[in-house]
Chains A and B, each alone.
Chain A
Amino acid sequence: MAYCYSEGPSTGSTAALPHNSTMAVIEQATPGTTTYGRPTTPKLFTAQLADIQAVWDAQTPAGLYSITWDSAANRVVVATTNATNHRPEMVGNGENWFGFTQALAGWNTSWTGASAPQAVARLLGVTVEPAEDWAQVDFAEYRHGRIASIGWGNHQAHQVIAYFSGENIATMQAGYVTAGRVRIHQDETDVLPYAAAHPGGYVDGWVVAAGDPTEEGDTGDLWSLRMVVAVPR
């Protein structure tokens, strides 16, 4: 799952780099009012949805909203909890990021994205190796064979191999989940972060290297992609 970059402000039509940080909404009763919502800092996709919901609840004329990612269906659902007819509006690359690739017209109390959000890639499995210390280390040798080992480093790295089905190639190639900051769940039910004593937890890191999708075998439906994910320490 990818993080979106955002610098705020939390609402308004102008913002720095709004390409996937922002979603807007118009309500039927006040069609002249467009309310924008975005987090004020970089946020994980699901946290971004919660932030947008909070902004809309506070800023829209009437609606109270529920913006959720349906994990099982892999779709984003935008709905009002007080039966307010509305229509979400996509900003920048929002249609791909949130998965609302359909033509958004008319009014409704609930909207479901027509496509899978490209902020999330469903994996068949993933190998996340325990962290490695990625310090640069030099040996310096002095007289009589005496040695000092000098190290510099500010991050650890995880070697990652993601396995996914053919239907997710487009999402992987879109780049949101293979570049920048991402969260990789090794086990979707494990809510604890990776730690030295809990190597099965989810990893929050920055993708510093990624290969191309590679077909595994010749069935046409099993693919893998190698990444190196760095975590500051």
Chain B
Amino acid sequence: MLALETTDDWAFSVDIDIGGAETYTNAVTNAIDSIYALVVWANAPARGWFGLSTFSWTWQRDATTGGTIFVLSASGFAFTISAGAHDRLGIPADAAVNEVIGDQPASGTWAPISKISVKKYMRTLAAGDANAGGAVRPGVPGLGAYRPEVSAVGTAIDAGRLASILATASNPRRAVVYQLHTGDWITLAIGTVTRQAVDTTHYRYDIQAGAVTL
């Protein structure tokens, strides 16, 4: 899944209520960092429900749009949430629930049918005996000063979605991408996106990317 920083209005506030409403005010401009910050806020000791309920989030592909549907969950007490996060994160208002599922894709998100491959992203590993391409390990040669390679496979819906969200990209163009094998969300500069048909149904996308973004 890829979440693009967009020019949408990300200055939203959303109320969460477990025995008393508290308000989260968003200050980041992409969907991943936003849902992540919302959950960190909801689990902070300052919350009235700290220790009683623990929030978490997951995502799923929306096959209708090629975007990302967020799922916000809480273990413990049920919660009530206002509609403040609906426009950007797709999470609707709901009451007395332990899970709320988005009813529209989050802004700037792209979830093609395949996982997104991120290769040659430089990683810093612990000290060890050998190194790998794209990694830095103390005391071992092999600095991977490569440009990341980002690619994925998708359908026509995914093609339409990607062009659509790129039209809303903020300038400079930055996105957060999930790298499966490291389990990390990585912030990349997003350059030119190229596409080629690989069969009658699928397209392959290659995204020119640069890491350690400004």
Interface residues of A (CB under 8 A from B): 129-133, 135, 137, 139, 141-142, 144-153, 156, 194-199, 233
Q: Chain A nearest CB: distance from B25 CB in Å?
A: 27
B172 x A146 contact (CB < 8 A)? no
Q: How many whole Å from B26's CB to the nearest CB in chain A?
A: 23
Q: Which of B160, B162, B173, B208 lies at the interface centre, i.e. has the most chain A CB atoms within 10 A of its CB?
A: B160
Listed by A's residue number, 26 A-B pairs whose Cβ atoms lie within 8 Å are A129-B197, A130-B156, A131-B163, A131-B164, A133-B162, A133-B163, A139-B191, A139-B208, A139-B210, A145-B145, A145-B212, A146-B214, A147-B210, A147-B213, A148-B213, A149-B174, A149-B213, A150-B171, A151-B169, A151-B171, A195-B160, A196-B66, A197-B65, A197-B160, A197-B161, A198-B160
B167 and A233: CB pair below 8 A? yes
Identify the closest chain A residue to B211 (Cβ): A147
**8 Å CB contact of B163 from A130, A150, A151:** A130
1/0 contact string of B159-196 vs chain A (CB within 8 Å): 11111101101011110000000000000011111010
Residue count of chain B within 8 Å CB distance of chain A: 33
B160 A146 Cβ-Cβ under 8 A: no
Query: Is A196 within 8 A of B65, CB to CB?
Result: yes
Q: How far is the CB of B213 from chain A (nearest CB, A)?
A: 6
Q: Is B135 an interface residue (CB 8 A)?
A: no
Residues of B within 8 A of A153 (CB): 167
Sorted nearest first, the 6 A-B pairs with minimum C-beta distance are A147-B210, A130-B159, A149-B189, A196-B160, A196-B164, A133-B166
List A contacts of B169 (CB < 8 A): 135, 151
B189 touches A147 (CB 8 A): yes
Q: How close is A146's CB to chain B, nearest CB, in angstroms?
A: 5
* One of B66, B173, B203 near A149 (C-beta < 8 A): B173
Residues of B within 8 A of A151 (CB): 169, 171-173
What chain B residues lie within 8 Å of A130 (beta carbons)? 156, 159-160, 163, 203
**Partner-A contacts on B (CB < 8 A):** 64-66, 145, 156-157, 159-164, 166-167, 169, 171-174, 189-193, 195, 197, 203, 208, 210-214
Bound: A122/B62 CA distance, A: 36
A141→B145 CA distance, assembly (Å) = 13
Set A148, A194, A197: member contacting B64, Cβ < 8 A: A197
Q: In the complex, which residue of chain B has the Cβ closest to the Cβ of A138?
A: B191
Q: Whole-angstrom distance between the alpha carbons of A135 and B159 in the complex?
A: 15
Known A145-B145, A197-B157, A197-B160: A150·B167 in contact at CB below 8 Å: no
Residues of B within 8 A of A142 (CB): 214
